Amino acid sequence: MNEKTLFITPKFPSANMSGGLIKTKRLIEKLSMESKLTVLCLYDEGGETQFGQGEIRKIIVTNRSGPRSISFLSFLESILKRRPLAIQRNYFPQLVNKVADIYKEYDHIILDHHLLGYSIPDYSKFYYHSHNAEFKILETYISQCLSFNLLKKTVAYFERYRLFAYEERLINRAYKVFAAPPDIEVFKNSGMDGRFVETYHLGDPVELDRDLLFNQRNPNIVVLGSCSWFPNLDGLEWFVSDVWPRVRRSVPASTLLIVGQQPSSIVARFSGIEGVELLGYVDSLESIFSESRAGIVPIRIGAGMKVKLFTYAGARLPIVSTEHGVEGVSKEIVDQMAVTDDAKTFAEYLIRILGDGQFWNELRCVSQKISEKYTWEKVLAKFWNEISEN
């Protein structure tokens, strides 16, 4: 293990992680076992410095726990500095200087997120791991959520243009770009000419000590995801307002369990809604999944693959999803899933799952097919092979 890898990522994974940080942790584990790994990041919450069997050198360049806040001044500064707002919020000269000081020591340089693309020196060879087509997420948000607010729409279009230009330059510079299949399609359709490699963003497997039968489970519905990420929040608001009342009318004993980061504003917004429980972060999903009958992916905005879908599938939990939620999953499997963008049909699927043991078992089998087709072993092996062969 003589090769040296520099892995640049915004935040070092910690115990309370979800979404893209799960993939980041998995990549760190794999890279640390295959090479001498240095993880260079902006933010840290005191996470482990050893995953699995690999040793990791961790370098933190700030003492912050997260990016700068959004304000009019930060927006103005982003214009003056000619950077997208998201990049400006995460811009730190000390990161640029640190990368410039050490990058020549490494055989492989991996950029784990678009936010830190500014730190990569010109003309250096690096691999870019894309978590999402960010400009596409913003584009969808504009079309679906800002149709009646001209000022916000104008500002958002400006940011979308800046993000597109930033991502395009990053993709064109990278030696290889690892991205989910739906994101690769978005990039290519937008005229970006990168050397793309398919990858998948999966969830952490949840081992069920008690794989309870249909009649042994409560009529619970689980939704995972941080409410600080606006596609998750938008989807949850749609579900609670348009779908949940229909489910409760048909199944009064049903409960919606919301799991993940929940700022105080979100708690205030959803507290008191009949049948809704806000659980926040939990140490283990095992008991929640083993006692529930369905997991939902009510995403209406964005591109890329949804980690929560693979997390449900790993526990053989029946899934109901929007079209956006199943992007990247093979058509053969999607055709067997409960997928709809219509609130009434979404509710009908859930009502049937909660009350029909045969239908519940059919969808469990579909979830098992997903978990068998998409595995971390395959994803990580391909990632390392693509890097080590050059």
Domains of the chain: 4-202+376-388 (3.40.50.2000), 214-373 (3.40.50.2000)
Strand order of the β-sheet with 319-321 is 276-280, 255-259, 220-224, 294-297, 319-321, 338-339
Q: Which of 214-223, 253-262, 301-310, 374-383 has the lowest mean pLDDT?
A: 301-310
Q: Running DSSP on this structure, what letter comes out for residue 69? A: P
Q: Give the type of residue at 270.
A: F
Cα dihedral angle (164, 169, 170, 172), rounded to 10 degrees? 120
Asked if 29 and 126 touch (Cβ cutoff 8 Å), the reply is: no
For residue 45, the model assigns a pLDDT of 67
- On the question of pLDDT at 48 being above 80, the answer is no
- On the question of pLDDT at 225 being above 90, the answer is no
| Radius of gyration of the chain, Cα coordinates, nearest whole angstrom | 21
The reported pTM is 0.86
For the stretch 199-219, pLDDT in tens is 988 877 777 766 778 888 999
What single string gives the DSSP state of each residue in 82-134? T--HHHHHT--HHHHHHHHHHGGG-SEEEE--GGGGGGSPTT---EEE-S--H
State which of 3-17, 49-63, 211-225, 342-356 shows the largest mean pLDDT. Answer: 342-356
Q: Report the phi/psi class of residue 328: left, alpha or beta, with left for phi > 0 and alpha for psi in -120 to 50.
A: left
- Give me the mean pLDDT over the 359-369 stretch: 95
- Give me the mean pLDDT over the 361-384 stretch: 94
- On the question of pLDDT at 79 being above 60, the answer is yes
For residue 142, the model assigns a pLDDT of 79
- Give me the mean pLDDT over the 351-379 stretch: 94
